[in-house]
Amino acid sequence: MLYIDNDSKDAAFHFSLEEYIVQRYPWNEPVMMIWQADKCAMLGSNQIADAEIDISYANKENIKIIRRTSGGGTIYTDLGTLLFTIIQPYEKDTYPIDIAKQEVAGPVVAALNEMGVQASIEGRNDILLDGKKISGFAQYMRHGRICTHGSLLYDTDLDKLVRVLRVDDGKIKSKALKSVRSRVTNISRHMTQTSTTSEFKNQLKQAMIKTLPAREQKLSAQDLSCVDRIYKEKYGNPSWTYEQTPKFSLHSKKRFEGGSIEVYLDVIKGIVTTCSIRGDFLGVVPIQDLENMLTGKPFKRNELSKTIENTPLQPYLGTITAKELIKTIFD
């Protein structure tokens, strides 16, 4: 495995670098990165900015808003947060969430344990410490490769985290918790010997390099030029981040164990003419292909069920099932 170090604190740069590695994969080995970003709210690929983020507060506090390619929910990061990325070839018929837990979260937890942080993997995409969340991870697949990335709350401003994110009441109630603030914690609070975030990052880097193991790889000028092109076309471009809220005649939202899902449909003369699917489900491929499958079909339960019953939905919706998707639309 290769380890790529970079001092940029721009989340859009790091997402561009991830995409460059996924698209071009100039090295023949998996790649790992540990990085930081300035104050930033990171949208999942299938989320609407206004629904997930307090935009006025973000602007007031100079919190940058970025959209990543992976699914999952919106997260807040700052210079007290560490972020990690592992990109590797994807073997067909391998369950993506298993890769995330075994080959990414597993080594992260092992490294943290070695450093005296008694973290553990819980749920669909969380790492917990003393019963509270310190990390979540998400994934996407392209070009035969899978990118798994996540965050680690080390010394994050949790008050800003709570303030900038719009929380789904159903999500809170389903976990029998009163607030986001009560569900998360900073690693630094549980350390017997405190370090700065930069010092902790270096300790984690060395522990991860030893655990995996990995060796360092430098980016060339040509690499950075390609990354810059992706940055300008996508992650650094506001048009990528601020997708407009879909305006459809039918809107339904439900929450399941696999996450929240919202379906927006335009139905004209009994036919689905436009379809948009949003939510924090852990899909790893573009949702547009699934949306296109439903477009042009009669708006009838049996017809839409028939359309998707033979389609593997896990790459699009994570663990949300066909029955749950149909229930969202019709019930």
The domain boundary, picked from 217, 241, 265, lies at 241
Q: Indicate whether 165 and 119 sit together in one domain.
A: yes
Model pLDDT, residue 167: 64
The CA distances from residue 326 to 35, 252, 299, 308, in Å, are 40, 11, 11, 9
Q: Which range marks the domain in which residue 210 is found?
A: 2-241
The domain boundary, picked from 219, 241, 263, lies at 241
Q: Indicate whether 165 and 264 sit together in one domain.
A: no
Give the whole-angstrom CA distance, residue 183 versus residue 199.
26
Residue 94 in contact with residue 40, Cβ under 8 Å?
Answer: no
Write the CB contacts of 4 (distance below 8 Å, at least 6 apart in sequence). Answer: 17, 31, 32, 33, 216, 217, 218, 219
CATH number at residue 319: 3.30.390.50
The domain boundary, picked from 177, 209, 241, lies at 241
Q: Indicate whether 64 and 166 sit together in one domain.
A: yes
Backbone angles phi, psi at 325, to 5 degrees: -65, -45
Ordered per-residue pLDDT tens for the chain, 331 residues: 999 999 999 999 999 999 999 998 767 789 999 999 999 999 999 998 888 899 899 999 999 999 999 999 999 999 999 999 999 988 776 667 777 788 888 999 999 999 999 999 987 778 999 999 999 889 999 988 999 999 999 999 999 999 998 765 544 433 323 456 568 999 999 988 889 999 999 999 999 999 899 999 999 999 999 999 999 999 999 989 986 667 778 899 999 999 999 999 999 988 999 999 999 999 999 999 999 999 999 999 999 999 998 899 999 999 999 999 999 999 8
Q: Indicate whether 35 and 182 sit together in one domain.
A: yes
Model pLDDT, residue 226: 95
What's the predicted TM-score (pTM) here? 0.86
Q: Indicate whether 69 and 169 sit together in one domain.
A: yes
Q: Indicate whether 95 and 52 sit together in one domain.
A: yes
Q: Indicate whether 205 and 271 sit together in one domain.
A: no
How many domains is the chain partitioned into structurally? 2
Residue 166 in contact with residue 114, Cβ under 8 Å?
Answer: no
Model pLDDT, residue 89: 87
